[in-house]
Chain A
Amino acid sequence: MQKEGLILQMEGITKIFPGIKALDDVMLDLRRGEIHALIGENGAGKSTLIKVLTGIHQPDAGIIRLNGEEVEMTDPLAARRRGIAAIHQHLATYPDLSVAENIFMGNEQTGGKIPAISWRKTREQAKALITSLGSDIDPMAEMGTLSVAQQQIVEIAQALSQNAKVLIMDEPTAALSLRESEELYSIVKGLKEKGTSIILISHRLEDIFSLADRVTVLRDGRYIGTWDIRETNSEMLVKHMVGRTIDQFYPKKTAPVGEQILKVEGLSRTGFFEDVSFTLHAGEILGLTGLVGAGRTEVVEVLSGVTRPDKGRIYILGEEKDITSPHEALRQGVSLLPEDRQKQGLLLPWSVQDNITLPRLDLHQKRGILSPESEAKTGDEYIGMLNIKARSGRDTAESLSGGNQQKVVISKLLTCGSRIIIMDEPTKGVDVGSKAAIYKIMCDLAAEGYGILLVSSEMPEVLNLCDRALVMREGRISAVFIREEMEPEKLLKAAMPLDKSRKGNAEYA
């Protein structure tokens, strides 16, 4: 029952894990030479479906047809041999080996009279593959010296070297700057034209609309539907992903901006950022944007005591402060929501309530002994207040979805009662529903007189939430915009590196 032009058909796929049905009767079909977007909230089953397809997991029910022929993906190697290759968000490369060695790892090019690796052949073939992708990466360069975007191109080359017919890209642009994403996408489009079929998983709807031909939505491990991209729009997709309409994605921020609570003067950390100065007021949401690597995270790490500055002054409520550690920052009223919630924000095996009470255990002591009742009370309070989806405060943090985990980290901040709240990419890897919830929390906090410094790479977030936005470029603040002046083009221009204008100046001289 092969339909014309279908390279891959997955039907009735069901996969069970201890305690959860991760996939329940899911289907997916892929045409030859199409880009097929696979979307859904975190935990919807996208990754599990991909793992079934690449032979990492065995399905409990369902069939996979490749070119109309029923196949069994018994292990990752079998999938690779059949021409299915996945490029993961977290790259699995060998940083100390060359690009060419990485491409032909496990598939070494032998030749000549003796049965040994032919380095000449390896080099030439690697060069040919990279050129065919329209890139100019040196095949002899050390993998570790490349940017994430370049490493992804190498991974694509590796997949092609094994004659991949189906290429799966899992959140390929999560770690890339805007320009790098565009480069990667033009490569993807080129592959499509050459007849490779691509499954694209992405949280960025803009990307999906500019690239994909069709889109399949999963929700809670179930198949919701497949649409031609021209028949859909973002509201409709969001509705299918969340299962309800979100009337107010960006809440209206009404809080008036009050007194100055934080002032930073000439802050520098050699090699990371130079001469950063700004102020933050009560009730304000101040954006800090720029490309990945512009020094934003490094600035907020200094403000929250994770690292020390080389130069500069920090004033909190008008008084100069020396923030020597995160402990000291919390005492001075500065809280940080770190970028990586799993590594920096949470103790994953711990319960939700134990995570929430950790920063202020002193509040739950009675004569030096921790009171379980007091801790449970605080846990339940925040679970209710932020609508965290957990059965109880005793659920472990790792059992929650990304968005709910983020809400636990936000609860931790709130227990500290700091007036200055720094959020580093608070909606990274968070599903649409939780995103809206987090935005609402931010606006509510601002209304209560907190000052929020929002570090974000997502333009819509900055445009819709912030009273003012600072743009960083190569370690310096390149522009400040007030709300009325904010336009995507202006923000982008301020964020882009200066190479071109420098050249221009040189020509002038």
Chain B
Amino acid sequence: MERAISRLPRWMKRWEWILVILILVVYAIFSGLQPENYTFPKLLNQTRVYMVDVGFMALGILVVLILGDIDISIGATAALSATVMAVTYNQGDGIPFIAAIALMLLTGAVCGLINGLLITRFPELFPMIITLSTQTLYRGIAYIILKDQSAGRFPGWFSKDLGYGSFSLFGLDVPIMLVCILAVLPVYYIWLHKSASGRRIFAAGTNLTASRYSGVQTGRIKMAAFILNGIMAALGGFFLTSRTGSVKYTLATGYEMQAIAIAVLGGASTSGGRGSVAGLLLALILMTGLKNGLMLVYNDAFILNLSIGLLLILIVLVPDIAGRIRRQNTVRRQRLTLKKT
């Protein structure tokens, strides 16, 4: 068995296959338990809840994780950006919604810029602590703007078509939102895995000093990654708002952890240098299937979170343990051949 695995070609030994297997297992279990409710069309409809807003935020944080940094202010960034959008649009009738969206994206970019500046200028401080502070700051500003109110007047297409709209494809109802994230994923895939600047991002995350000595502009790359992360967080907030229909300062609370969990489950490492867009997509699908199934069976958000937590620990441990067993087996085999001779 061990030998058979080690003979497989490189592409078949990828982490992504484990995610594919897990997806199939989860689908088999829950469609067995709930054959009426756990069906592909229903799951497809649920993707708008579990895949889109978190997906955008996970893509943003993926680049930051590959660089070996972390940003836990993205939930707050989403809240502040969405607040700016809602408040701008509600100022008066003359303001076009597109201007509000532009301002929202700008807000996200500025939030990311502040994080990036603090992290690149003060390398001795932990990114975790810096973004913990800015998290409070951004959500605080959202609170100052909105107080405890919620802002919920948006153009009809925003909540109706984007939030709940879908179109028919081969007899299936495909949410419009899902198409948005599915359109962005290939762009990220090509950028991160196939382009020179993507390679440099992985390089900077693997060894910052050596990359800098090799002419990689590490400072610029980090700034760009944080700004883009802010924009992606704002987009996450945008799609979340279209789904919930209103903005409060508490929007997207806890989403930073969900996004990080998705990226890590997809193969990213918090110590930098590793991450996969394909893995991220599979992690999103796995989470959708799992959360949906758990909600159907238990209908309890606490059980849901507990199960997801357990699963994450297991999944992060599995490759580590597998590696250890593999190393031990190699040594044992060599010792056996030694004794024979």
Are A14's CB and B213's CB within 8 A?
no
Instruction: Take A16-B334, A343-B209 as given contacts and tell me if A416 and B195 are in contact as well, using a CB distance cutoff of 8 Å.
Output: no
Instruction: Take A16-B338, A369-B190 as given contacts and tell me if A361 and B210 are in contact as well, using a CB distance cutoff of 8 Å.
Output: no
Are B215's CB and A347's CB within 8 A?
no
Are A16's CB and B335's CB within 8 A?
yes
- Does chain B have a CB within 8 A of A330? yes
Instruction: Take A344-B210, A347-B210, A358-B211 as given contacts and tell me if A327 and B199 are in contact as well, using a CB distance cutoff of 8 Å.
Output: no
* Binding-face segment, B74-82, B142-150, B200-208: B200-208
Classify chain A: how many residues form its interface, as a range: 35 or more
- Does chain A have a CB within 8 A of B121? no
Residues of chain B at interface, number, CB under 8 A = 25
Q: How far is the CB of B271 from chain A (nearest CB, A)?
A: 11
- Does chain A have a CB within 8 A of B130? no
Instruction: Take A16-B335, A343-B207, A344-B209 as given contacts and tell me if A370 and B215 are in contact as well, using a CB distance cutoff of 8 Å.
Output: no
Q: Which B residues are CB-close (under 8 A) to A364?
A: 196
Q: Which of A18, A61, A370 contacts B331 (CB 8 A)?
A: A18
Q: Which A residues are CB-close (under 8 A) to B213?
A: 304, 306, 326, 336, 338, 344-345
Q: Which of B180-209 contact A (CB under 8 A)?
A: 190, 194-196, 199-200, 203, 206-207, 209
Question: Closest residue of chain B to A346, judged by CB?
Answer: B210
Instruction: Take A18-B327, A350-B206, A369-B194 as given contacts and tell me if A361 and B334 are in contact as well, using a CB distance cutoff of 8 Å.
Output: no
- Does chain B have a CB within 8 A of A359? yes
Query: Which of A61, A325, A329, A348 neighbours the largest number of chain B CB atoms within 10 Å of its CB?
Result: A325
Q: Which A residues are CB-close (under 8 A) to B216?
A: 327, 358
Q: In the complex, A351→B28 CA distance in Å?
A: 39
Q: Which of B194, B209, B217, B338 contacts A370 (CB 8 A)?
A: B194
Are B210's CB and A370's CB within 8 A?
no
- Does chain A have a CB within 8 A of B214? yes
Are A362's CB and B330's CB within 8 A?
no
Q: In the complex, A348→B210 CA distance in Å?
A: 10
Are A369's CB and B195's CB within 8 A?
yes
Q: Which of A351-380 contact B (CB under 8 A)?
A: 354, 358-359, 361-362, 364-365, 368-370
- Does chain A have a CB within 8 A of B273? yes
Q: In the complex, A345→B330 CA distance in Å?
A: 31
Q: Which of B194, B207, B327, B334 contacts A346 (CB 8 A)?
A: B207
- Does chain A have a CB within 8 A of B212? yes
Question: Closest residue of chain B to A304, judged by CB?
Answer: B213
- Can you name 8 A-B residue pairings with CB atoms under 8 Å? A326-B212, A327-B217, A358-B214, A359-B214, A361-B196, A361-B200, A369-B190, A412-B214
What 4 pairs between A and B have smallest CB-CB spacing?
A361-B196, A330-B215, A18-B330, A359-B214
9 other A-B residue contacts (CB within 8 Å) besides A338-B210, A361-B200, A369-B194 = A18-B327, A61-B338, A325-B217, A346-B210, A347-B211, A349-B206, A358-B203, A369-B195, A412-B214
Chain B residues at the A interface, C-beta cutoff of 8 Å: 190, 194-196, 199-200, 203, 206-207, 209-217, 273, 327, 330-331, 334-335, 338
